[in-house]
Structure 1
Amino acid sequence: MVKVVGLCGSLRPGSHAEKALLLALAAAAGAGAEVEYLDFKQLNLPFCHGGDEYPDHPDVEVLKRKVKEADALLIATPEYHGSFSGVIKNALDLMSFEELSDKVFGLVSVLGGGQNNNALNDLRTVARWVHAWVVPEQVAIGQAWKQFDAEGNLTDPKLKDRLDKLAYALVKAARMLRTTA
């Protein structure tokens, strides 16, 4: 079974990025994947200092192990100042090729303003540098503050469909890569 780990670039409780991630993870589970949300609010991760070891932060090893065991990563991030969040950048920087190479990435961004793809394009660049594979589907949710209902569901069925298609594409690509590796 394909394993998908979800990473959220927002630490704000009830964030829109987290809501989108949870919906996409549910869709990935519906596509037959084993899913896990690695909630950074529950981990004690330091700022990356460029070293290989973080003995005072055992959660770095948890992050590395869980990502290494995964076939795919589903990453949701708010767009801050025209790019993805520092939370995601720091988490990715704490890992190396050993954890990230040959992973399949699925990408989601949420924005307070209009929809654009800056954060997603920047994440694609990072994925390329760590030798990961990014599925062509991606979802940018503009004006996220008005796209979710009180239960955390998307109110626009077209956006929900796009999120579902992203999750299915991620699982399919991870299966395909896994069988050829």
Structure 2
Amino acid sequence: MDMERNMQSTINILGVAGSMRSGSYSTEALKMALELAKKHGAEVRLLDLSKTVLPLRDPSAPASEQVEAAAKAVAWADALILASPDYHGSMSGTIKNFLDHFYKEFAGKLFGYIVASHEKGLTAMDQMRTAVRQCCGWSMPYGVSINGEQDFANGQIANAEVSRRLEMMSRDLVVYGRLMRGQFARDLGSSEPYTFAAHYRVLLKSAS
């Protein structure tokens, strides 16, 4: 990790769209969140998994062009927003497959969550948080739930509370993501043995 870049003010935020449906509410809300993050000084990118279609995770298979493109986007990101529809109380298989492809690449990065759901999407968010935690990523303590046609009108969010939560999450992701990125970089560069980043310091040395 480049220490000098991590001390700069710009933060890179990757939005990962996990719906295969054209006109997806979760994807549209994600695009809005990324635009709001830009207003707070972030550089943003969208990884739309309906266009960059990842094969099912097979550790024995060589990386496809799509997996390599996703890996470059994840490496670029300092923080991520995962957006998913709520399928039977869980995240979409598309998002789960995306998470399956990565592990240490998420370490020290902050994640936000958007779920399109008629049931608030709480279990879907909790499952995404669990997967991210297992990869030693950090999660925002709240997410944004979109209730489809009730919250959207003419392609825009009509629910003022949802708009406020999107604004809050986008702002907080920029502010706290920058702080966590800087501290994680400092810890990686130190020799202090008992820190969250110490494990990754060892992994990075063994990989080099």
User: What is the TM-score of this pair, normalised by structure 2?
Assistant: 0.80
DSSP-derived class of the 2:149 partner: helix
* Alpha-carbon distance in 1 for matches of 2:122, 2:136: 21
State, as a whole percentage, how many aligned pairs show the same letter: 34
For each residue in 1:71-127, what CA deviation from the matched residue of structure 2 results, as whole angstroms up to 9, or x when unmatched? 001111100011111000001111221x2111110011111x232411111111111
Given that residues 4 and 70 in structure 1 are in contact (C-alpha distance below 8 angstroms), is that contact kept between their aligned partners in structure 2?
yes
Pairs within 5 Å for 1:20-169:
20-49=29-58, 51=59, 53-55=61-63, 57-97=64-104, 99-111=105-117, 113-142=118-147, 144-150=148-154, 152-169=155-172
* Alpha-carbon distance in 2 for matches of 1:125, 1:114: 19
Unaligned runs of 5+ in 2: 1-9, 186-208
Aligned residues: 175
Q: CA deviation at 1:146?
A: 2.3
* Alpha-carbon distance in 2 for matches of 1:140, 1:118: 11
* Alpha-carbon distance in 2 for matches of 1:116, 1:13: 20
* Alpha-carbon distance in 2 for matches of 1:125, 1:93: 12
- Note the aligned Cα RMSD (angstroms): 1.3
* Alpha-carbon distance in 1 for matches of 2:114, 2:73: 20
In the alignment, residue 174 of structure 1 is paired with which amino acid?
G
* Pair member with larger Rg: 2
In the alignment, residue 33 of structure 1 is paired with which amino acid?
A
Unaligned runs of 5+ in 1: none
* Alpha-carbon distance in 1 for matches of 2:60, 2:102: 8
In the alignment, residue 8 of structure 1 is paired with which amino acid?
A
Tell me which stretches of 4 or more aligned residues in structure 1 moved more than 4 Å.
none
